[in-house]
């Protein structure tokens, strides 16, 4: 059965960009007679707040959406992700990284065209790692692209792909090749949380039977990483639909960091959900 999701992080109040994304996914589920899942992605212990989670549920209900219950809250399931990290570690696909952000940045040079090279610091020398572990220093787990490539073999590695039914930032659509190199040796478990975004998303999409990932084109690059993770773990490949990002009157996209006007403020100012849905191009929720 068609199943999609909206997976906000409770780091602030929702704005119109979120409303557009949630309505896009929800409408697709309704049109297909499928499932709509709401997932709270709150693994960042410093930025996520319970009050934002409550506000998200309130805003989405006001918007006219409904979803399956119970709602999965990622921070309640850290042991699930830890089990996957154990598995990847046993298979030698990840390595401990004790470096600070500054050290990681210093480890990358400038690529010929002035773009930053992908972050691939590599494992620490064995003795150094043993010393850092003995000192109980915190570490992240990074995916080793070299080991992943070895594990999959050249033909599987070169044939990695995903189906894009929407379009990427440059209009990419159809069966697209996965380019894991672009993201580098991504962190799969943060020092402070025991898991990181890509692993939690790929795990939960598989666990929740999500076969259509519908989300903004800002996460297009993330799809490359997540397809690799799914392949390494034998999880199914969803179809992807990346949608355009909504822009405000100034032509810039909505983002929490710009203090975009929130749905709660719009509501307090008298905007009705019906008017907002119509403005965003969704005429009816029936
Ligand atoms: N939690 C992510 C965010 O709020 C979205 C994850 C996803 O849709 O894959 O940006």
Q: For the whole model, what pTM was predicted?
A: 0.94
Atom of ligand 1 nearest to the CA of 205: 9
CA 206 – ligand 1 centroid, Å: 15
205 has pLDDT over 70: yes
Per-residue pLDDT, averaged over 233-259, amounts to: 86
What integer pLDDT is reported at residue 172 of this predicted model?
97
CA 14 – ligand 1 centroid, Å: 13
CA 216 – ligand 1 centroid, Å: 9
Q: Whose CA is nearest to atom 2 of ligand 1?
A: 8
pLDDT bucket at 226, cuts 50 / 70 / 90: very high
Q: Whose CA is nearest to atom 7 of ligand 1?
A: 7
What integer pLDDT is reported at residue 116 of this predicted model?
67
Q: Whose CA is nearest to atom 6 of ligand 1?
A: 7
65 has pLDDT over 70: yes
Name the CA dihedral angle for 208, 256, 120, 139, rounded to a multiple of 10 degrees: -80
CA 95 – ligand 1 centroid, Å: 25
Strand partners, 262: 15
What integer pLDDT is reported at residue 192 of this predicted model?
93
Q: How much of the chain, in percent, has pLDDT values that exceed 90?
A: 86
Tell whether omega for the bond before 157 is within 30 degrees of 0, i.e. cis: no
With H, G, I as helix, E, B as strand and everything else as coil, classify residue 96. strand
CA 155 – ligand 1 centroid, Å: 31
Q: Are strands 140-143 and 212-216 parallel, antiparallel or unpaired?
A: unpaired
In whole angstroms, give the CA distance from residue 213 to residue 210: 7
Query: Please, are residues 43 and 73 in contact by the beta-carbon 8 Å criterion?
Result: no
Identify the residues whose C-beta falls under 6 Å from ligand 1: 7-9, 41, 201, 215, 219
| 95-154 pLDDT per residue, tens | 999 999 888 888 776 555 656 678 999 999 999 999 999 999 999 999 999 999 999 999
In whole angstroms, give the CA distance from residue 243 to residue 20: 9
Q: How many CA atoms, within 13 angstroms, populate the side-chain half-sphere of residue 242?
A: 22
């Amino acid at each position: 059965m068609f199943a999609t999701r909206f997976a906000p992080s409770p780091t602030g109040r929702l704005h119109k960009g979120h409303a557009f994304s949630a309505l896009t996914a929800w409408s697709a589920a309704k049109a297909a007679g499928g499932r709509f899942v709401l997932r709270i992605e709150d693994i960042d212990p410093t930025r996520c707040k319970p009050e934002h989670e409550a506000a998200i549920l309130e805003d989405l209900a006001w918007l006219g959406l409904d979803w399956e219950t119970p709602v999965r809250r990622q921070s309640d399931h850290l042991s699930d992700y830890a089990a996957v990290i154990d598995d990847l570690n046993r298979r030698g696909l990840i390595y401990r990284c004790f470096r600070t952000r500054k050290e990681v940045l210093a480890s990358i040079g400038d690529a010929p065209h002035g773009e930053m090279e992908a972050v691939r610091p590599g494992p620490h020398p064995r003795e150094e790692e043993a010393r850092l572990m003995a000192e109980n220093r915190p570490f992240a787990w990074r995916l080793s692209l070299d080991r992943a490539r070895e594990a999959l073999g050249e033909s599987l590695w070169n044939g990695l792909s995903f189906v894009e039914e929407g379009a990427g930032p440059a209009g990419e659509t159809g069966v697209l090749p996965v380019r894991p190199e672009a993201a580098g040796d991504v962190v799969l478990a943060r020092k402070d949380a025991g898991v990181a975004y890509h692993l939690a998303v790929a795990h939960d999409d598989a666990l929740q039977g999500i076969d259509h990932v519908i989300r903004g084109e800002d996460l297009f690059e993330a799809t490359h990483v997540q397809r690799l993770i799914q392949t390494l773990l034998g999880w199914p490949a969803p179809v992807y639909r990346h949608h355009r990002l909504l822009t405000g009157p100034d032509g810039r996209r909505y983002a929490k960091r710009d203090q975009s006007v929130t749905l709660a403020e719009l509501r307090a100012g008298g905007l009705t959900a019906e008017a907002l849905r119509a403005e965003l191009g969704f005429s009816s929720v029936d």
